[in-house]
Amino acid sequence: MKAYTINKYGKKETLHLNDVPVPQVKDNDVLIEIHAAGLNLLDTKIKSGEFKLILPYRLPLVLGHDVAGVVTKVGKNVKKFKVGDEVYSRPADFQIGTFAEFIAIDEKDVAFKPKNLTMEEAASIPLVGLTAWQALVEKANLRKGQKVFIQAGSGGVGTIAIQLAKHLGATVATTASEKSFALLKELGADVLIDYKTQDFEDILKDYDAVLNSQDTKTLEKSIRILKPEGKAVSISGPPTPEFAEEAEVPWFVKIILRLISSRIRRKAKKQNVNYTFLFMRAEGEQLNKITELIEAGAIQPIIDKVFSFEQTNEALTYVESGRAKGKVVVKVK
């Protein structure tokens, strides 16, 4: 099969189109013929080597963390899926590889594709949908009547998180450029802050939760807008000792993560707020819940551009540019 691989880490490295074997199907796996693959900043960060301490992949590596396609083969223990089923997934770490024609994924990480979405729309959802769910439902325990600040509202995670927060009954504030305001208002944002001309710290106060996707300076400011016992969930770091334990990283990585997160943990403690780092995980059951919300019309995918499979490198460059509104997708089949 055809697949795009990285052969070495580097920001300027490009993906190489190669012939590689079709993945072997283990007892709990489904083999998916890939129709579409979503692109994420996580792909660019792995390519650059930014996450090699946390995710020590062996190279060459097929990138790609979002897939929609059709089941073509099932392992002997598979119960939920059969050949011909239309599915979507965020494969687990170390099982990634959606910039390809086929991928084998453990059935526990797979869900049926929402019936009202195209393959391209479905491929845009898994990673950002699960990130929003795990941040707002699991970590922040966001409830009706609460206030949440979601940074970078027009991004892939932001567009889904705003919709999920509104479904949960929260008041939503977000940052974006003014040209994105109309879209974000449509998605449910209540307070719109132009990051180019306004400082959110001057506008927001006594918030229950923050979803941080920006730099550490922005995270520190975000902590100051929270009410006592408010929750700051960051998907951009710094990783915490708790994360290091869960991820079972080597001892020296645990020391590094403890050191780089010490400042923000101290500041959070001083403000009497809770700080957690989220490195989202694959989770088919949660994806099923997201499917229900999509089919009920509570969440809709926001896609900026669809590229052809041959344009995968251009698509990744576009994601790296930071200009995308919503998600970027590659149409494989």
* Pairwise CA distance, residues 32 & 104, whole Å: 6
Average pLDDT over residues 172-184: 97
Number of neighbouring beta carbons within 10 Å of residue 331: 18
Per residue in 236-266, pLDDT tens?
989 999 999 998 899 999 999 999 999 999 9
CB 33 within 8 A of CB 43: no
**Can you give the pLDDT at residue 113?**
98
Non-local (6+) Cβ contacts of 222 within 8 A are: 149, 151, 200, 210, 212, 232
Non-local (6+) Cβ contacts of 31 within 8 A are: 22, 23, 25, 71, 72, 73, 74, 102, 103, 104
**Can you give the pLDDT at residue 8?**
95
Given a cut of 90, is residue 277 above it in pLDDT?
Answer: yes
Per residue in 188-227, pLDDT tens?
999 999 999 999 999 999 999 999 999 999 999 999 999 9
**Can you give the pLDDT at residue 323?**
86
Q: In sequence order, what are the beta bridge partners of 36?
A: 68, 331
Q: Which domains can be identified in the chain, with CATH numbers?
A: 2-125+301-331 (3.90.180.10), 128-277 (3.40.50.720)
Non-local (6+) Cβ contacts of 107 within 8 A are: 28, 29, 30, 74, 75, 78, 79, 80, 81, 284
Given a cut of 90, is residue 67 above it in pLDDT?
Answer: yes
Give the residue with greater pLDDT, 160 vs 53: 160
**Phi/psi at 281 (5° precision):** -125, 160
Given a cut of 90, is residue 322 above it in pLDDT?
Answer: no
* Pairwise CA distance, residues 306 & 294, whole Å: 20
Average pLDDT over residues 23-31: 98
**Can you give the pLDDT at residue 68?**
98
Per residue in 41-54, pLDDT tens?
999 999 999 999 89
